[in-house]
Amino acid sequence: MDTEKEVAAYNVSRETFLKLCEFSNILTEWNQKMNLVSKNSISDLWPRHILDSLQLIKYMPQNVQTLVDIGSGAGFPGVILAIALQELQPQAKLYLIESIHKKTVYLNDVCYRLGLHNVKVINERVENTVFKSVDVITARAVAALNVLFSYAHTLGNENTQMLLLKGKTYEQEEAEAQKYWQYSKICYANAYSDDGVIMQISRLRKRR
């Protein structure tokens, strides 16, 4: 895989590609100290994690002011989006919510070393965070749809969009979530996972 060519397809500069390379080095360094991603997936870091996260840029609304990433963990997709949006939408402010303290130490180190001034890392449980306005909520491998919708309902409003990277169980998750929630949905194929999808959710509201 020509990773530079893959990254360029998302209309970002070589400077952004080099920053993504630097991020991969920092993650690999930290992964020797703590389990951020499985050791088996380090060799597939670009397609499995970095590009998988970067593809959300294709579905990002214009003029995003506030983006909240739930359960940022190793930085997917939050840090990857922050790197790209620093160039593509410099007005965007990203909030990375991570409840595990040692992972927030790592995330803060990443943001400092990469100069990601558009990011704030929040060491808190999602349900305890409050925002005045949220344009976009992202999440990857965090929780089932019903739980994510509960978080999103508290964080945002009907104008908030969600971009969710979901795996092969998404249909079962959705069957459960539809018992409690109404929403508009578009599903896109995941370019880096045969059984994964990207769910774009809008107009989320509780069923009456």
DSSP string, 88-135: H-TT-EEEEE---HHHHHHHHHHHHHHT-TTEEEE-S-GGG---S--S
Q: How far is Cα 24 from Cα 46, in angstroms, rounded to an integer?
A: 8
Which CATH number does the domain housing residue 185 bear? Answer: 3.40.50.150
Residue 42 banded pLDDT, cuts 50, 70, 90: confident
What is the mean predicted confidence (pLDDT) over 78-100?
A: 98
69's tokens: 């990433």
Contacts of 108 by beta carbon, 8 Å cutoff, 6+ apart: 121
**pLDDT for position 141:** 87
pLDDT for 24 equals 97
**Does position 40 have pLDDT exceeding 90, yes or no?**
no
Of residues 70, 39, 196, the one with CA closest to residue 134: 70
**Rounded CA gap, 83 and 113, in Å?**
12
Please give the model's pTM, rounded to 2 decimal places. Answer: 0.96
How many domains are contained in the chain?
Answer: 1
- Does the pLDDT of residue 1 top 90, yes or no? no
Q: What is the per-residue pLDDT across 110-163, written as a single tens digit (0 to 9) for each?
A: 999 999 999 999 999 999 999 989 999 999 989 999 999 999 999 998 899 999
Residue 142: give the domain boundaries: 3-206
Q: What mean pLDDT is predicted for residues 183-188? A: 97
Name every residue whose Cβ is closer than 8 Å to that of residue 37 and which is 6 or more positions away in sequence.
27, 31, 45, 49, 74
The b-or-e profile of 146-177 (16+ CB within 10 A means b, else e) is bbbbbbbbebbeeebbbbbbbeeebeebbeeb
